[in-house]
Structure 1
Amino acid sequence: MSKNVSEQLLDILQGVGVENVYGVTGDALNFFVKAIEERDGVDWIGMKHEGNASFAAFGHSQTRENLAVCAGTVGPGALHLINGLYNAKKERTPVIAITGQINQKQQGTSFFQEVDLKKVFDDVCDYQAIIETPEQAPMVIQRAIKNAMANNAVCRIELPANVAEMKAENEQFVHPIKKYVSRLVPEESVVIEAANLLNNAKTVGILAGDGCRESRAAVIELSKKLNAPITHSLRASDIFDHDTDNVVGLTGLIGNPSGYNAVMKCDLLLMLGTDFPYIDFLPHETKTIQVDIRQENIGNRTAVSLGVWSDISSFLEILNPKVEQKEDTTFIDKLKKNFENWRQNMKEQASPTRENEPLHPQIFADLVNEHASNDAIFTVETGTSAIWAAHHISFYSQRRLIGSFNHGSMAVGLPSAIGAQMANPKQEIWCLSGDGAFNMAMQDFITAVKYELPIKVLIFNNSELSFVKLEMEQVGLAASLDALHETNVNFAEYAKLCGGDGVRVEHAKDIDAAVLQAKNSKKPFIIDAVVSSGALSLPPHIGIKEAIGFGTSKLKEVGQVISGDKKQWSNLKKELQSYFD
């Protein structure tokens, strides 16, 4: 029996190990979905929203480090995929988006649901396989898959409704596709120059990013020879955890003082595998060496004294034997002591003895850190939940951390947790989310129930977009409380209504039991953590501009209180109670 183009597409996807397709079906995808239904070894994961489908594919691919697939039909369904695909692009995660398209006979006539998808997806996709004939299909499909796998990129396959059911052609062009691995080795003369700069510098700071994922041991070895503190990006938190030798934390808006000072006060900065974007938290007068596998990243954020185009493993393999052992430990000892003091302060902030209500969000994050398994996967939202995760969870052992660290999108946490759990059924998956972000994606908690995924969702429920509030105050605006307010349901009851389980926590004495209940649940579980909106997390360094901004904001808020604004008075009271309790 001859196969159609949809079945041929599925053959090729299964050939590269695709097991799940996340999406919402519809007319142009119906033949493809039918092919999945009749095939062993691959499942259609029906989501409630295509945007969540693309985030789920991201979570799957990111945690399994292989190709993942999402799908949406014709114009509206395809457009919903965009945000999650941008996240995959910015996190350099290989994802294929399959989009239906209207019948070719109707294209160009402004037909019902017609959208020029090639134009829309042009920025997010490295390559778009627009299938025009069955003869062409296997070549362009395989090209899209090869491109996604080779470049850790997003690519799209467009399947017109009329082509989807046509007889497949050119089977002889279908062949096994593998991901080829090679190394980018720098010239030895460049490495010698880097070694000389490092050996002659009095103090060295290392800023390490996700590009160091395969080089953790070599980076630590180098830091010990140089007595160089390691500051890491948020995305690299699960490479250089809080308990790793010479790690002194994060820099940036959600960083800590020792991480900031290690970067800003060294004589020479060594940037390894990071395109750290926050230029206000980088030195611009300091000698800097930047090593990156992507040449366009070198010197992208700050001027460099030496750029090295290489993967980090190859660079360090040549560099480390050429680096001399430094004897002076004054710089790193001071920073390590400051880091330990900061960690102790974080532990005190997270003490369950702080019983002020609404509760302190730090307590929940700290107890999740205590009880989560050593190989747990954490998805975090963009906002204050990322702050509490970065400050209170140590991603040691085999733990992983994923999120929207470069794209900065809300609503990544829940759907990426679904994809991560699908891809890693035996591992513990924790989603740390703000209430605003969860509200955007909450319909697919039903999907987690449908597929019996025991994800654990901790919602920091403060009825507010807290990170946006922090942004407003940083630039000198009084918080717009009506715009920031979130009207929430009882999330624990919502979990039960969907067929999962959950608990609402309003008292400190109940937090530990709630975390253990979530950990041991076989159903999708929500901890509805009723927390204070007044919990503050300031950047590790506040310059004159930021000080003026925060000061101006508070003066404006006090002025509103004096004029009789009861909401603003309530806001200030929460902040004071949270700070002094």
Structure 2
Amino acid sequence: MDAQNLDWISVGKISDLPEGRVKTVTARTTSICLSHFDGQWAAMDNHCPHQGGPLGEGSIERGSDGKCWIRCPWHGWDFDPISGTPPGGHEDTGQKLYPLKIEAEEIFIGLEPEPERERTVSDVMAETMVNWGVKRVFGMVGHSNLGLAEALRNQVNKGALGYVGIRHEGAAAFAASAYGKLTGKPAACLTIAGPGATNLLTGLWDAKVDRAPVLALTGQVQTQVFGPGAFQDIDLKSAFEAVSRFSQPVLPSSNHAELMSLALKNALVERDVSNLIFPDDVQTIPSDAPARGPEGRLGRTDVSPAAADLEDAARMINEAKRPVIVLGYGAIEVREQIIAFAEKIGAPVMTTFKGKGLIPDTHQNAAGVLGRSGTPIASWFMNEADLIIALGSSFSNHTGIAPYKPIIQVDFERMQLGKFHAVTLPVWSELSAFCGSLMPKVGKAPGADDQIAENVERWQIWRDEKEMRLAEHRGQGIHSAALFKALTDVCPQDAVIPVDVGNNTYSFGRYFEPRGQRILMSGYLGSIGFALPAALGAWCATQDSDEFKGRKVISISGDGGFGQYAMEFTTAVKYGMNITHILLNNGELGKISKEQKAGEWPVWETSLTNPSFSAFARLCGGHGVRVTEADQLHDALSEAFAHKGPSLVEVMTDADLV
């Protein structure tokens, strides 16, 4: 082809390759052996015809006649860099040569224009994903998902998808889970067959038990070697059966757009995990089938309460002298309506730990978190209550809702009503419909106690107690109460805060006073290591969703949790994620030590050997600071929050002061 009709692709500068050397370069997707010898430059196919050895990793060898040869590093085959032929001139074993030119000390390789790419099964399914509203994929590209990865790459290039390449597939699943918890919309996670797929399982279980929509896209070996035990061949459908609501292999005869539509419908409607298994050979099958979307596939979700239930609920509320509301994570979309309802009936609002932050602690009705990670304010009102109104709560044993008191429980899922024990009045309804229908029918009962005034007193008692705890100091690290007091003072009010598991989380529940921040956690699975991968997912949500646009992401963990996925800090650096990670470093698995002591066990194998995590953050290319004194906290946190990119605040804490 005429040189003017070629695409000239830059592969580097002449200074990149000294005289007498060869190297591998890539022009578009073509791997090329570039050579520089005797003042000449040449480019040939990089794959040796013997066994595909990379010629660019070989060497320039000069024969006895002074002629130069490129020698393959695997088995020593030689090729003339000018003609591409081996010694003896056998053209059938020679190498393809590529036109080369140098302009302004930059090297260009001439390639024929790319033909229009043939549409594949993977393209149909990737386009269907986009049509259903999937905006983000977390994953790792590998040998058994390359066809699917190419289809995703095309959508990324069109601006229809965002992609984050992670360091461990478990982080991809946690990131997708956090994304689903925050937005209510599914993100996808991409892996290869075998170990790549199984690495997803912990994060997918987190999504499943916390009801977050997630789409898992797993590569698989070729269909012809299913079963007999090929490399990385495991029964993925069985492996994912328990964790997914929908799991199917993608076969040549599948209705591919329909299969992806069903997977996403299950993820959205059931708020669960869907898994599609892509055999390697099926991914690249040509297809001209149309993509699909959600039109005509999703109905309205309104569930109104029965009239009799409304009358019974109104009577119970209007007669109660000390009603309280337990606000669970399931109420997140209607929290403002519920707060208005609480104001009308004069009820304190306590949240489950998963629901922390759904009502700001500065609100006059807010009574803090109920349960093991909670405040004495909430437990006091629970003890004094004569009616509990549970909205969006699933009655976890960690929450501690008193089962012996009169309870009105409202949920749009009938199986959640009275799931663990009988309640006085189970109401099947969407929460907004319940509160909206009940508002005209209820008010504060005559002679009811002034619980709002009591709430002010209880908060003062608790804040005085926290101030006294700040005085505790054993010279072995900062009190976690001091950290979370400082965080309360300087944290942006609209921040998204993924938290981990352990004493750091219990302290966060007790001491941090939310002012409107959104909290994310591994609720029912309680998986250590959740926070940092969740921060990746949350940051992506701030890029993809108008609701969360521009919000600061602040993740919190102990040293044990951070160590699980520490290298994902480099992922945050790679993509310029504006994330701050607060790391409580006490040199041990403090919660486990505490449990061993409480059970009168000896403390055993809970100590940790740690590097300087702040130095690690700097080595990764982020901002890192180490805090050893409480009076350094405000400045360290503020500086980290102001940093435009990934930052880490390492706080040296006392394992016993939680």
1:530 partnered with 2:652: yes
Alignment partner, residue 509 of structure 1: 631
1:424 partnered with 2:542: yes
What is the rounded CA distance, in whole Å, between the counterparts of 1:159 and 1:300 in structure 2? 37
Q: Give the number of the structure whose residues are more often strand, by fraction.
A: 2
Residue 137 (structure 1) aligned to one of 256, 260, 267: 256
Once the 2 structures are TM-superposed, how far is the Cα of residue 215 of structure 1 from its aligned partner? 2.5
Map 1:393-408; keep pairs closer than 5 Å: 393-397=512-516, 399-408=517-526
Alignment partner, residue 462 of structure 1: 586
Alignment partner, residue 495 of structure 1: 617
User: 1:319-341: per-residue Cα shift (whole Å, max 9, x none)?
Assistant: 12111322422455434422331
Taking a change above 3 Å as real, the CA distance of residues 479 and 368 of structure 1, as seen in their structure-2 partners, is: farther
What is the rounded CA distance, in whole Å, between the counterparts of 1:70 and 1:279 in structure 2? 30
Taking a change above 3 Å as real, the CA distance of residues 217 and 498 of structure 1, as seen in their structure-2 partners, is: closer
Q: Are the equivalent residues in 2 in contact too, given 1:383–1:466 (CA < 8 A)?
A: yes
Alignment partner, residue 272 of structure 2: 153
**Identity, % of aligned pairs?**
27
Alignment partner, residue 230 of structure 2: 111
Aligned CA-pair RMSD:
2.1
User: 1:166-221: per-residue Cα shift (whole Å, max 9, x none)?
Assistant: 11253276675876542110111111011112222332222111222233233223
1:225 partnered with 2:344: yes
Q: Secondary structure at the residue paired with 2:407?
A: strand
Taking a change above 3 Å as real, the CA distance of residues 233 and 74 of structure 1, as seen in their structure-2 partners, is: same
Taking a change above 3 Å as real, the CA distance of residues 12 and 155 of structure 1, as seen in their structure-2 partners, is: same
1:291 partnered with 2:291: no
Map 1:562-581; keep pairs closer than 5 Å: none
Q: Secondary structure at the residue paired with 1:54?
A: helix
Once the 2 structures are TM-superposed, how far is the Cα of residue 354 of structure 1 from its aligned partner? 6.1
Once the 2 structures are TM-superposed, how far is the Cα of residue 409 of structure 1 from its aligned partner? 0.5
Map 1:306-317; keep pairs closer than 5 Å: 306-317=425-436
Once the 2 structures are TM-superposed, how far is the Cα of residue 350 of structure 1 from its aligned partner? 4.6
Alignment partner, residue 608 of structure 2: 486
Q: Secondary structure at the residue paired with 1:21?
A: strand
1:81 partnered with 2:200: yes
What is the rounded CA distance, in whole Å, between the counterparts of 1:172 and 1:434 in structure 2? 45
Once the 2 structures are TM-superposed, how far is the Cα of residue 345 of structure 1 from its aligned partner? 2.3
Q: Are the equivalent residues in 2 in contact too, given 1:134–1:163 (CA < 8 A)?
A: no
Alignment partner, residue 32 of structure 1: 148
Taking a change above 3 Å as real, the CA distance of residues 235 and 180 of structure 1, as seen in their structure-2 partners, is: farther
Residue 56 (structure 1) aligned to one of 175, 187, 192: 175
Q: Are the equivalent residues in 2 in contact too, given 1:431–1:456 (CA < 8 A)?
A: yes
Map 1:537-552; keep pairs closer than 5 Å: none
1:120 partnered with 2:239: yes
* 1:19 aligned partner, one-letter code: K
What is the rounded CA distance, in whole Å, between the counterparts of 1:323 and 1:435 in structure 2? 49
1:449 partnered with 2:565: no
What is the rounded CA distance, in whole Å, between the counterparts of 2:283 and 2:262 in structure 1? 18
Residue 372 (structure 1) aligned to one of 491, 494, 518: 491
* 1:11 aligned partner, one-letter code: E
Q: Are the equivalent residues in 1 in contact too, given 2:388–2:408 (CA < 8 A)?
A: yes
Q: Are the equivalent residues in 2 in contact too, given 1:465–1:484 (CA < 8 A)?
A: yes
1:96 partnered with 2:219: no
Q: Are the equivalent residues in 2 in contact too, given 1:28–1:164 (CA < 8 A)?
A: no
* 1:381 aligned partner, one-letter code: D
Once the 2 structures are TM-superposed, how far is the Cα of residue 419 of structure 1 from its aligned partner? 1.3
1:343 partnered with 2:463: yes
Alignment partner, residue 78 of structure 2: none
Alignment partner, residue 270 of structure 1: 389
Once the 2 structures are TM-superposed, how far is the Cα of residue 508 of structure 1 from its aligned partner? 2.4
* 1:309 aligned partner, one-letter code: W
Once the 2 structures are TM-superposed, how far is the Cα of residue 228 of structure 1 from its aligned partner? 2.1
What is the rounded CA distance, in whole Å, between the counterparts of 1:280 and 1:27 in structure 2? 45
What is the rounded CA distance, in whole Å, between the counterparts of 1:314 and 1:376 in structure 2? 29
* 2:459 aligned partner, one-letter code: F
Once the 2 structures are TM-superposed, how far is the Cα of residue 147 of structure 1 from its aligned partner? 1.3
Q: Are the equivalent residues in 1 in contact too, given 2:245–2:274 (CA < 8 A)?
A: yes
* 2:150 aligned partner, one-letter code: K
Higher relative contact order (CA 8 A, sep 6+): 1
Residue 563 (structure 2) aligned to one of 427, 439, 442: 439
What is the rounded CA distance, in whole Å, between the counterparts of 2:572 and 2:242 in structure 1? 31
What is the rounded CA distance, in whole Å, between the counterparts of 2:478 and 2:166 in structure 1? 34
Residue 422 (structure 2) aligned to one of 303, 311, 320: 303
Count of residues in Structure 1 that have an aligned counterpart in Structure 2: 532
Q: Are the equivalent residues in 2 in contact too, given 1:134–1:166 (CA < 8 A)?
A: no
Once the 2 structures are TM-superposed, how far is the Cα of residue 225 of structure 1 from its aligned partner? 3.5
1:8 partnered with 2:124: yes
Taking a change above 3 Å as real, the CA distance of residues 217 and 429 of structure 1, as seen in their structure-2 partners, is: closer
TM-score (norm 2): 0.77
Point out the more displaced range, 214-223 or 154-163: 214-223
Q: Are the equivalent residues in 2 in contact too, given 1:291–1:308 (CA < 8 A)?
A: yes
Once the 2 structures are TM-superposed, how far is the Cα of residue 146 of structure 1 from its aligned partner? 1.3
What is the rounded CA distance, in whole Å, between the counterparts of 2:506 and 2:322 in structure 1? 29
Q: Secondary structure at the residue paired with 1:484?
A: coil
Alignment partner, residue 316 of structure 2: 197
What is the rounded CA distance, in whole Å, between the counterparts of 2:158 and 2:329 in structure 1? 36
What is the rounded CA distance, in whole Å, between the counterparts of 1:420 and 1:437 in structure 2? 18
Deviating beyond 3 angstroms after TM superposition, the runs of 4 or more aligned structure 1 residues are 172-181, 330-336, 347-351, 353-357
Taking a change above 3 Å as real, the CA distance of residues 321 and 470 of structure 1, as seen in their structure-2 partners, is: farther
* 1:300 aligned partner, one-letter code: K
Taking a change above 3 Å as real, the CA distance of residues 373 and 33 of structure 1, as seen in their structure-2 partners, is: same
Taking a change above 3 Å as real, the CA distance of residues 438 and 173 of structure 1, as seen in their structure-2 partners, is: closer
Q: Are the equivalent residues in 1 in contact too, given 2:204–2:214 (CA < 8 A)?
A: yes
Alignment partner, residue 473 of structure 1: 597
* 1:258 aligned partner, one-letter code: I
Taking a change above 3 Å as real, the CA distance of residues 224 and 43 of structure 1, as seen in their structure-2 partners, is: closer
Once the 2 structures are TM-superposed, how far is the Cα of residue 275 of structure 1 from its aligned partner? 0.3
* 1:182 aligned partner, one-letter code: T
Q: Are the equivalent residues in 1 in contact too, given 2:337–2:432 (CA < 8 A)?
A: yes
Larger Rg: 2
What is the rounded CA distance, in whole Å, between the counterparts of 2:131 and 2:565 in structure 1? 32
TM-score (norm 1): 0.87
User: 1:480-522: per-residue Cα shift (whole Å, max 9, x none)?
Assistant: 2x41111111001101111112011112232222111101112
Taking a change above 3 Å as real, the CA distance of residues 107 and 483 of structure 1, as seen in their structure-2 partners, is: same
Taking a change above 3 Å as real, the CA distance of residues 123 and 459 of structure 1, as seen in their structure-2 partners, is: same
* 1:21 aligned partner, one-letter code: V
Q: Give the number of the structure whose residues are more often helix, by fraction.
A: 1
Q: Are the equivalent residues in 2 in contact too, given 1:75–1:114 (CA < 8 A)?
A: yes
